[in-house]
Each structure stands twice: as C-alpha cells, then as structure tokens.
Structure 1
Amino acid sequence: MIEFVYPWAFVLIILPLAVTLFAPAYKERKSSLKVPYFARLVDVTGEKPQSGAVLLNRNNLQRLLIAFSWLCIVTAIAKPEMIGAPINQEKSARDLMIAVDLSGSMSVEDFTLPKMINEVTSDGNNSNTITDKKQHINRLVAVKQVLNNFVKGREHDRLGLILFGDAPYLQAPFTDDITTWQALLNESDIGMAGQSTAFGDAIGLAISVFEQSNTQNRVLIVLTDGNDTASKVPPVEAAKVAAAHDIKIYTIAIGDPSAIGEEKVDLDVLNEMAEITQGKSFQALNSDELLAVYAEIDKLEPQQFDSLSFRPRVSIHHYPIALFVSIYLLALFVVNLRIRWQLIQQTAQKSSDGVTHD
C-alpha cells in the first residue's frame, strides 16, 4: 500500500499546461544570410518577411517523455511512502511498587528452606540433592529469594522498590529492567535504613512516586515483620490517601503475631489497610507460605497490557527521482548517438561525392 505525505503536490501537474497556454512562446535566434536583392526576392517568392527568430517544435515522442518526466518529479515532491503490515506492540499497563522492611527484627532466623547437600557421584561429578533436613535463614533472605522468583514472572510490569526502617528510601524508581531491580534488592541489608519501622511513611513515599507515573493501574506490595513505631503518618491514614489515588495495597505480615513490642505485627491494621484500598492482607510464617502469598497475588493481579498498533512507513520518493534521471540519461544517449550517426552519414556522403567528382 502506498500513501503520499503531500498529496496536494499533484496540483503541480497542471503547471506545464498553464505555462504553455499563458506564457509567451520561447524564441531562439539563429544566424541568417543577408542578400542585397532581398526586396526583389520577396516579390518573386511572394513570402512575407518574418522576425529573425524561429519557434522550437517538439515531436510527439519528446512531448511524451517530457510529460512523464514532470510526472516523476511531482510524484517525488508528493513523497510517496510504502505502508507495511500492521505491527502490534504491547506494553505494561501497571506499575508495581514493592516496599520491604529492613528493620532489625528482619534478622530473626525463623524461616526454613530445604537443605541442599553436595554429593560426589561414581563418575566424579558433583550433584546437589535435597534432603529432609531444613536450613534456617533470616526473614530478609527469605524475602529476597521469593521476591526474585516473583519478579521473574512479571517481566512486562514496571517495578519499583522502597526500603524502609527509621525512614523510607526509594531504592529503585519504576523500571522495566528486572535485572537491575533484582541487583538493587539483593544489595539491601538489615539495618541500612535504621532499626525502627516507618510503615506509614513508606506508603506515603509510594504515593508520591505513583503520582509521577501515568499508569492508572497501581499496586503496592508491603512486607513488614513489626508494628509501626516511627511513622509521622499512621498507616491507616496513609492507606486512605492511597485509596484516593487509586492505589491498591497488598500487605504481607512476615512476623510472629504472638511477639510483643516492636516485633509484634498488628494484623488488624494490615487488614484494615488492605480493605480500604481494595487489596488483600496475607500472613507468611515460613518461606513456603511466603511463596504461596506471591502465587496468590499473581492470580489476583494478572498482567495487563496496553496495545499499540502501528504500520511501518518507508519513504520511496527516490524511485521516481531515479526513474527521471534514467530517462534523462537515456535521452542524452539517444541524442548523442543520433548526432554521431548523422556525422558518419555526412562524412560518407562527402567521400562518395569526392569519388564521383574524380
């Protein structure tokens, strides 16, 4: 399919016709002979004297070539483009922010993973085998492992990362570079944001980051293992502001509800926050439950896409230009060949006349 960027340029096709009709004829002066008996010659021949110029006349083939060449020039000015087949592109329609608690209580080693042992086989190769024994890891290590698996399946989402302790910090703005996001998560460590838990302030920071995004589907996943003790804005009030900005919050409690003090998780507050924002609240006491939580979130928040369809456009205006140049060069070649042929004939005629005279 071909389209023209400047279709109005085809109005120029009538320009040569307008010049032919309204512009004065082109006259070319040529040398002439002067004779002393010009008046007597006029009387004898009966011809009327004309001005010393002749009009150039073209044959039909020349007119056709000139018209076709002008059509090529006008077509190039109109800039034809070849329109390709439609191409559909999909991009993520959602921004997903993950807030991770780095308070001191995340160092508690109450998460378990299957223990891997390294065995040497009979052929001398090493192999990893899963045993019934469990290895204990701290809460942050468990969160990192499960998060890394979680984000691998969300390669089309734009991910952000907030780390919070005494205060929240934006570790990674929204990005579709999953590898960089994982590197920034893995570099985080317990206590690097302080020992307390500023849960509500982390939600406030997420709201401000979401406000700089144009995506309407906004999801915040918050992982915490303790009670809010350092926020300037209570978590429930922050959740109300998040709901006003169409942000859905999923809260994940990874602490022990039976604990006391700062390490105690206020499940009632987490449930209320999720309910206010039309999200959901989860509780994970081990790595298996945490993995199940993310699987559930995958079901609740399937990936959404904005489709963008476009047709590739390739300019082909150089083709009529190349055709015009080819016609011009071919015409020059034919004219030059014709002149040479006439010269050869004239030379042969002179030679034959000389032989006959002798």
Structure 2
Amino acid sequence: MWVLDRPGYLLLLLVLPVLVYLRHFWCGRGSRMIFPFTFSGGEGFRAPLTGRVVFMRLGHLCFWTALVLLVIALAGPTKTVRERIFLTRGLDIMLVLDVSPTMAARDVQPVNRLEAARSVARRFVEQRENDQIGLVAFSLEAALRVPPTLNHDLVISSLEEASLMEYGDGTAIGMALALASLHLYGSDGQEQVIILLTDGVNNAGEISPEAAAEVAGRSGIRIHTIGVGSEGEAEIEFRHPEDGRTYRGTVREGYDPESLRRIAELTGGRFFSASSGGSLEAVFNAIGTVETSERRVRVQVHRHPQHQILLLVAVILLVLDVFLRRLLIGSAP
C-alpha cells in the first residue's frame, strides 16, 4: 500500500500551471514580440519546426516534469508492507498421498481420483498459514517428498509433480504411515497430524497399517484417514511411466473402510469417505475445522520511502534539460 507522509506539499502542484503559463504563454513576458499582421490569402506566419525547436520543447518538458517529481518527493511517498508475525507455533501436518495406478480411476471429478486429491490438498495447504506441512507419496514403496516445512510453495510444487506409479505398482499404506510418523516424532508443534488419502488396501511393505498406527498413537500423532472413490466399477486410464503406453480398463476393488476406520481410531483421528470432488472438499474442510490451534499474531508494518527514486529521476531530467539547452541549442530560450 502506498501512503504520503506529507500530503500537504501536493498543493504546490496547483502553482505549476500558473508558472507554465507565465513562462511560455503570457504575452507580457520578455523575449517575445507579437506581430499583428497576416499574409494576404495565407494562414499567417508560423515558425518552422526545426531540430532546434524540437530540442527546446523537449528541454521544457524535462524541466517541468522534474518539478512535478520534486513536489511529489516532498510529499513523502512511502510503500508500506504489513507482515503477520505468529507468536505461537502451529500444527505439524504430514499429507500421505496414494499414487498407485488405481488413483487414475475417473469416478471422482474433474479428471480422476489423484487430480481431485491433488487439487483439494493444494487448497488445504494454502489455508494453513502457520502450520508446518510435509508430504509423503506411496504406491509399492513410500518416499518422503517434503519434510514438515513452512515453505508451502515447496509442498504445493511437490504435490503437482507427484505422478502415478512413481514408486511402483502396489499400496504400501503401513510403510507410508511409518515414514510420516518418523518425520513427526519429536516435533515441538502444538499437535502432530497425519492425513492419509488412499483408494486401496495395504498389499505391500513390511509394516502393517495397524502396527504403524499403534506406534503413531503412542507418540501422540493423530491420523485422519480418507477413502477416495465410489463403490462399484470405475473406468481407469493411465500412462505407464516406464514404457509410455496408455492402459485402459475398470477398477472393481476399492479401499477397506473398516481398516481405515481402525487406523483412525487407534490414534484418536477420524475416518472419512469421499466419492466425489465435492465430498473430498467437504472432508478437508471438516479436518481443517477439527485441527485448529491457538494463534497469537502481531502485525508489523514495514515502511519503504520512495522519494529517493523520484529525486534521482528529477535530477536526471534537469541535467538533460541543461544538456539540451546548453550543448545542442547553445543558449537558453
């Protein structure tokens, strides 16, 4: 936001039109003679538009523009920036995203299950201003993409880059939960939360989801589980990352609601099902309402005076005016 520290100086701008008139248009000023005659049948006498005249007018323009800038500089233009400083630590949240091939099922709009989850998760991250957020993606294997951080742009960028079958063909829910818990263990945030988004059942990895949930619960980490997808068959289409071929078919099996509910109960979390993009949005809104923390905020205003730039431009214009009049014209008008 821009403000003026001394706006009263802008009243000087009202004087400038009068000075321009007295300097260039007033008939009573010196160095000008008026000849009250015209040529018969002509339009009268007009001074030719020579290079000397052009440079002279350009010098005048530089001079008066410089005066305007000097007046504005006197008014004290200042750019103010308001910064919110959080005095308390927020939550630590790990998003655990399933990128197995079944997440390409097209029963969740606008494109498929993965794109719907990605879109809603991105908006969730954008709203958690003071929370440290990390990301784990999994399929056959689980991988940490971003540790808990306040750099939400990095989290969103990693979300956008996550792709189907990036970690193989499978669903290692237990490994993913264990990895997320590992990076939340010992955190000094007010609360530690894991949000699991999956559309399948655990079929890979050495750690079972229940075992990972028990360890997380004992560490004070709460897990919310979200089952993505509708009941029944769903069309699927995806491109294999290794051979580049496009595969199409149907998905008949989905997530196990009892297993996801058990994971959530073991840690004091909640289980949600989302069969559409709208219901997935509602689920994240519900989690956002439940997972809140005390926030103490101080607003700090940073002031950045801008008059130096105006003064510099004004000086350059005045020097240009002198250069045009003295060096190119040879004398003042």
Q: TM-score band, normalised by the shorter chain?
A: 0.5 to 0.7
Offset of 1:208 from its aligned partner? Answer: 1.0
Q: In structure 2, give the amino acid aligned to 1:90.
A: L
Match of 1:160 in 2: 134
CA distance in structure 1 between the aligned counterparts of 2:89 and 2:103, rounded to whole angstroms: 32
How far apart are residue 214 of structure 1 and its match?
Answer: 2.6
2:221 maps to what in 1? Answer: 247
* SS at structure 1 position matched to 2:183: helix
Shift of 1:305: 3.9
The two structures have a TM-score, normalised by structure 1, of 0.52
CA contact (8 A) 2:86 2:130 kept: no
2:92 aligned partner:
95
Partner Cα separation in structure 1 for residue 93 and residue 294 of structure 2: 12
Question: How far 1:307 moved relative to its partner?
Answer: 7.8
Could you tell me which residue of structure 2 aligns to residue 116 of structure 1? none
Q: 288, 291, 295: which is aligned to 2:281? A: 291
1:106 maps to 2:83 = no
CA distance in 1, matches of 2:146, 2:253: 26
Which residue does 2:168 correspond to in 1? 194
1: distance between equivalents of 2:190 and 2:219?
Answer: 9
Contact 2:230-2:274 within 8 A present in 1 as well: no
1:170 aligns with 2:144: yes
1:126 counterpart residue number: none
Pick aligned residue for 1:207 from 153, 178, 181:
181
Distance in 2 of aligned mates of 1:287 and 1:190: 18
Identical aligned residues as a percent: 32
CA spacing shift, 1:88–1:253, aligned 2, 3 Å: closer
What are the superposed Cα offsets for residues 284-323 of structure 1, whole Å, 9 maximum, x if unpaired?
0110000000010111111444789xxxxxxxxxxxxxxx
SS in 1 for 2:200: coil
Query: Once the two structures are superposed, what CA deviation does each residue of 1:56-97 show, in whole Å capped at 9, x if it has no partner?
Result: xxxxxxxxxxxxxxxxxxxxxxxxxxxxxxx98424331010
Higher RCO, Cα 8 Å, sep 6+? 2
1:302 aligned partner, one-letter code: T
User: What is the CA-CA distance between 1:256 and the residue it aligns to?
Assistant: 3.6
Q: CA deviation at 1:257?
A: 4.5
Structure 2 counterpart of 1:282, from 259, 266, 272 = 272
Q: How many Å separate the matches in 1 of 2:277 and 2:222?
A: 24
Kindly state the Cα deviation for residue 215 of structure 1 after the two structures are TM-superposed. 2.4
Contact 1:94–1:304, Cα closer than 8 Å, also in 2:
no
Q: Which amino acid aligns with 2:107?
A: D
SS in 2 for 1:92: coil
Matches within 5 A, 1:58-69: none
Q: Which residues of 2 match residues 305-320 of structure 1 at below 5 A?
A: 305=295
Alignment: residue pair count: 199
Q: CA deviation at 1:109?
A: 1.1
Residues 7-36 of structure 1, C-alpha deviations (whole Å, 9 max, x = no match): xxxxxxxxxxxxxxxxxxxxxxxxxxxxxx
CA 1:191/1:217 → structure 2, altered by over 3 Å: closer, same or farther?
same
Cα distance, 1:258 vs structure 2 = 4.2
Aligned amino acid, residue 99 of structure 2: L
Match in the other structure for 1:236: 210
CA–CA distance in structure 1, aligned partners of residues 85 and 126 of structure 2: 24
Q: CA RMSD in A?
A: 2.3
Structural mapping, 1:1-358, within 5 Å: 89-113=86-110, 137-258=111-232, 263-305=253-295
Pair 307,285 (structure 1): closer, same or farther in 2 beyond 3 Å: same
Q: CA deviation at 1:110?
A: 1.2
Given the superposition, is the C-alpha separation of residues 169 and 176 from structure 1 closer, same or farther in structure 2, using an over 3 Å criterion? same
- Give the AA of the match of 1:96: I
Gaps of 5+ in 2: 1-83, 234-249, 299-333
* Cα deviation 1:34-63 (Å, max 9, x = unaligned): xxxxxxxxxxxxxxxxxxxxxxxxxxxxxx
In structure 2, give the amino acid aligned to 1:268.
E
Which structure would you say has the larger Rg?
A: 1
Task: Give the CA deviation at 1:236.
Answer: 1.1
Q: In the superposition, relative to structure 1, how do residues 98 and 304 fare at CA in structure 2: closer, same or farther (>3 Å)?
A: farther
Query: What secondary structure, in the 3-state scheme, does the structure 2 residue paired with 1:252 have?
Result: strand
Deviation readout 1:192-211 (Å, 9 max, x if unpaired): 01110000111110111112
Code of the residue aligned with 1:138 in structure 2: it is N
Q: Distance in 1 between matches of 2:92 and 2:119?
A: 21
1-structure distance, mates of 2:130, 2:95: 15
SS of the residue aligned with 1:210?
coil
